[in-house]
Amino acid sequence: MQRYGSVLELRKDKMDEYKQLHREVWPEILKMIKECNIRNYSIYLGELEKERYYLFSYFEYVGDDFDGDMGKMAADPMTQKWWDLCKPCQRPLETRAEGQWWMDMEEVFHCD
């Protein structure tokens, strides 16, 4: 199992919309997350600077082909529709690596 953390900014004017989307996640999206070997998936929201809101994502990957599973998810038509709704709510960080939307974070400590 591999743990992943990532972050991006949430547009303040889209906060209510984003929260509503995640109160009622489509069953097809939840199914795809599981099919792609993602478990224990959480997204946290915090105001880290005055009037600037950030999302922190955490999940555990239990498969053996991360790139393949992420490709499968990205190719899924329902996932693409879901992302089309979510992406306008988000603002990726300038410091993210090329090709990333959510900026990957390095795990520096873990305790079970």
Residue 39 CA to residue 36 CA, distance in Å, equals 9
What pLDDT does 26 receive?
Answer: 98
Q: What is the number of other CB atoms lying within 10 angstroms of the CB of residue 20?
A: 9
Written as six digits, the tokens of 100 are: 């990333």
Whether the Cβ atoms of residue 8 and residue 102 lie closer than 8 Å to each other: yes
What pLDDT does 49 receive?
Answer: 87
> Low-confidence residues of the chain, pLDDT below 50?
none
What pLDDT does 17 receive?
Answer: 97
pTM more than 0.95: no
What pLDDT does 90 receive?
Answer: 98
Residue 58 CA to residue 70 CA, distance in Å, equals 15
